[in-house]
Amino acid sequence: MFKSGFIGIIGRPNAGKSTLFNAIIGDKISIMTHKPQTTRNKITGIKNYPDAQLIFLDTPGMHKPKTPLNRAMVRTTREAIGSVDVLLMMIEAQTDVQPHDLFLIESLNETKAPVLLVINKIDLIEKKFLLPLMDKFRRIYDFRDIVPISALHGNGVEELLTIVKEMLPEGPKYYPDDIVTDATERFIASEFIREKITLHTKQELPYSAAVEIDLFKEDEAKNLIRITATINVEKDSQKAIMIGKKGAMLKKIGTQARLDMENLFGAKVYLELFVRVRKEWTASERMLEEFGLLKH
Instruction: Calculate Rg over the CA atoms of the chain.
Output: 20
Distances (CA, A) of 248 to 232, 240, 259: 18, 11, 17
Distances (CA, A) of 107 to 64, 73, 74, 75, 138: 11, 14, 11, 12, 17
Specify the pLDDT at position 184.
Answer: 83
Specify the pLDDT at position 124.
Answer: 87
Name beta bridge partners: 231.
Answer: 211, 275
User: What are the residues whose beta carbons fall under 8 Å from the beta carbon of 176, sequence distance 6 or more?
Assistant: none
DSSP letters, 147-164, are EE-BTTTTBTHHHHHHHH
Is 91 exposed, middle or buried (CB count within 10 Å of its CB: 0-12, 13-18, 19+)? Answer: buried
Specify the pLDDT at position 36.
Answer: 44
SS3 245: helix
- Whether residue 72 contacts residue 1, with contact meaning beta carbons closer than 8 Å, is answered with no
Q: Which residue, 123, 90, 91, is CA-closest to 8? A: 90
| pLDDT per residue rounded down to tens, the chain (296 residues) | 899 999 988 888 778 888 898 888 887 666 554 544 455 456 778 999 999 999 998 776 555 655 666 666 666 666 766 678 999 999 999 889 988 889 889 888 878 889 999 999 999 888 899 999 999 999 999 999 999 999 999 999 999 999 999 999 999 999 998 888 888 889 889 989 998 998 898 877 878 899 999 999 999 999 999 999 999 999 999 999 999 999 999 999 999 999 999 998 899 999 999 999 999 888 888 888 888 776 65
What's this model's pTM, rounded to 2 decimal places? Answer: 0.73
Compute the C-alpha angle 92/187/9, nearest 5°. 25
Specify the pLDDT at position 40.
Answer: 47
Domains detected in the chain = 3-167 (3.40.50.300), 185-290 (3.30.300.20)
- Angstrom distance (rounded) from CA 41 to CA 78: 12
SS3 240: helix
Specify the pLDDT at position 35.
Answer: 47
Distances (CA, A) of 250 to 109, 230, 262, 263: 44, 11, 18, 20
Alpha carbon 10 to chain centroid, angstroms: 10
Q: Is the dihedral of CA 174, 180, 186, 188 positive or negative?
A: positive
- Angstrom distance (rounded) from CA 177 to CA 181: 11
Distances (CA, A) of 78 to 11, 101, 106: 11, 16, 12
CA dihedral 272, 195, 39, 159 (to 10 degrees): 120
Q: Is the dihedral of CA 160, 162, 168, 171 positive or negative?
A: positive
Specify the pLDDT at position 11.
Answer: 84
